[in-house]
Amino acid sequence: MTATKGLEGIVATTSSISSIIDGILTYRGIDIDELAENATFEEVVFLLWFGKLPTQVELDKLQSDLNASSTIPQPVIDQMKTYPKDANSMSALRTAVSSLALYDPEAGDMSKEANVRKAIRLQAQLPAVVAAFYRIREGKEPIASKGYPSIAANFLYMMTGNEPDAIAIEALDKALVLHADHELNASTFAARVTVATLSDMYSGVTSAIGALKGPLHGGANEAVMAMLEEIGGPTQVDSYINNKLNNKEKIMGFGHRVYKNGDPRAKHLQKMSKQLGQLTGDISWYEMSIHIEELVTGQKGLKPNVDFYSASCYTSLGIPRDLFTPIFAISRASGWTAHILEQYDNNRLIRPRAEYTGLSNQHYIPMEDR
């Protein structure tokens, strides 16, 4: 047996949910460009879970079910109020999601019908948990969903209590569509490994959140925004980026293991970054991002990934930097639960082997001889 570092190039399972072939991302065979331009996030959720786009009746039913399932159990809210004010947002989300299982009477029901209902509850409650965590640490009470037909609109309302602007809803909805699934990424693999033991869906999603928390996966857009803030303004871009490149330091938000010719999702968020900047009257983050892309792509040949422009989009929406990855989780919950349902349908315990590189022919040494 010979190990492959990071399992790169290893095909670990079969899946009909999403694919990345020749640099093209599809959900259930539909190009991400078509979905980003035409579909709502709720349509994508239905597509990932059930393998087809919904009819209007099916979409209305899903939207109704999501709204009806968005209330967080009061004990979980009370628990969140005990979290440290400086708690890591992904740690808070991971803890809250794990706690949700305690108050779901179907948590241990492994029937297909119950698992679909749990997927609906998780998809509905994650945005409510993130918004509630944000408000609690600001010294405010959580706000219940207003029953908008979209998760994006409800999330923005639950954060601020204000009617969200149409362009803001469109931007967040598009970001949710673009982040919904991405084949067998680290967090999705973690979810599938967990539920392959026939553990419950909440355990699978909790595992996925733990994997997404890492800066090499979900935390990249936070790092991009930290970089933009460190640069300070458009006039400082050249010196900052050139210094990084000359010192062979990594520029966050560029390159991707599975995309050699650029991330197909990035262009959609680039467009939204400009529109949101124009809406707020401040396009400096967008201008900085464009200039950084010109420098990095021109000198290194690296192209931006989906994280790069999502940073300026979320900032223009007034979302704090440390909530970027939890929003990623809100979107990716649709993919995680789709993969969990698929794993349950054709399950086999995921148990790879390891190439042993330790010592051999060793023997026990009595205590007095050590």
Is the pLDDT at 91 greater than 90? The verdict is yes
Which range among 4-13, 88-97, 98-107, 201-210 shows the weakest confidence by mean pLDDT?
A: 4-13
Domains contained in the chain, number: 2
Q: What is the rounded distance in angstroms from the CA atom of residue 33 to the CA atom of residue 222?
A: 24
- pLDDT for position 152: 98
Per the structure block, which two tokens stand in for 323? 């909530």
Residues 278, 148 within the same domain: no
Coil vs helix vs strand at 150: coil
Which residues are the active-site residues? Answer: 256, 307
Label the pairing between strands 24-27 and 18-21. antiparallel
Q: What is the rounded distance in angstroms from the CA atom of residue 48 to the CA atom of residue 46?
A: 6
Residues 202, 225 within the same domain: no
pLDDT tens for each residue of 194-235: 999 999 999 999 999 999 998 888 888 899 999 999 999 999
Residue 193 lies in a domain: yes
Residues 71, 185 within the same domain: yes
Q: What is the rounded distance in angstroms from the CA atom of residue 292 to the CA atom of residue 71?
A: 42
Is the pLDDT at 286 greater than 80? The verdict is yes
Coil vs helix vs strand at 366: coil
Closest CA to 124 of 79, 161, 154, 90: 154
Residues 31, 165 within the same domain: yes
- pLDDT for position 8: 86
Residue 332 lies in a domain: yes
| Percentage with pLDDT > 90 across the chain | 89
| Percentage with pLDDT > 70 across the chain | 100
Residues 203, 240 within the same domain: no
Higher pLDDT, residue 2 or 142 = 142
Residues 151, 254 within the same domain: no
Furthest C-alpha separation in the chain: 78
Domain harbouring 153, CATH code: 1.10.580.10
Which of the four pLDDT bands, split at 50, 70 and 90, describes residue 255?
A: confident
Residue 184 lies in a domain: yes
Q: What is the rounded distance in angstroms from the CA atom of residue 347 to the CA atom of residue 226?
A: 41
Residues 80, 138 within the same domain: yes
- pLDDT for position 1: 74
Q: Which residue range(s) make up the domain with 194?
A: 16-214+322-345
**152 touches 177 (CB < 8 A):** no
Residues 189, 307 within the same domain: no
Residue 135 lies in a domain: yes
Which of the four pLDDT bands, split at 50, 70 and 90, describes residue 141?
A: very high
- pLDDT for position 294: 95
Residues 201, 308 within the same domain: no
Which of the four pLDDT bands, split at 50, 70 and 90, describes residue 262?
A: confident
Which residue in this structure is represented by tokens 């959580």?
A: 142
- Mean pLDDT in residue range 347-370: 96
Higher pLDDT, residue 137 or 257 = 137
Is the pLDDT at 124 greater than 90? The verdict is yes
Residue 351 lies in a domain: no
**192 touches 204 (CB < 8 A):** yes
B/e letters for 117-152, b = 16+ CB within 10 Å, e = fewer, are bbbbbbbbbbbbbbbbbbbbbeeeebbebeebbbbb
B/e letters for 304-317, b = 16+ CB within 10 Å, e = fewer, are bbbbbbbbbbbbbb
- pLDDT for position 217: 87
Is the pLDDT at 15 greater than 90? The verdict is yes
- Mean pLDDT in residue range 44-64: 98
Residue 147 lies in a domain: yes
Residue 225 lies in a domain: yes
- Mean pLDDT in residue range 14-34: 96
pLDDT tens for each residue of 152-177: 999 999 999 999 999 999 999 999 99
Residues 174, 247 within the same domain: no
Residues 158, 303 within the same domain: no
Note the pTM of the prediction, 2 decimals. 0.94
**CA–CA distances in Å: residue 183 to residues 67, 88, 231, 258, 351:** 28, 27, 34, 10, 19
- Mean pLDDT in residue range 12-19: 96
Is the pLDDT at 55 greater than 90? The verdict is yes
pLDDT tens for each residue of 341-356: 999 999 999 999 999 9
Domain harbouring 310, CATH code: 1.10.230.10
Which of the four pLDDT bands, split at 50, 70 and 90, describes residue 257?
A: confident
Return mean pLDDT, the chain: 95
Residues 335, 236 within the same domain: no
- pLDDT for position 221: 87
Which range among 21-35, 168-182, 205-219, 250-264 shows the weakest confidence by mean pLDDT?
A: 250-264
Q: How many helices (H) and strands (E) does the chain have?
A: 16, 3
- pLDDT for position 258: 79
Which range among 167-171, 252-256, 288-292 shows the weakest confidence by mean pLDDT?
A: 252-256
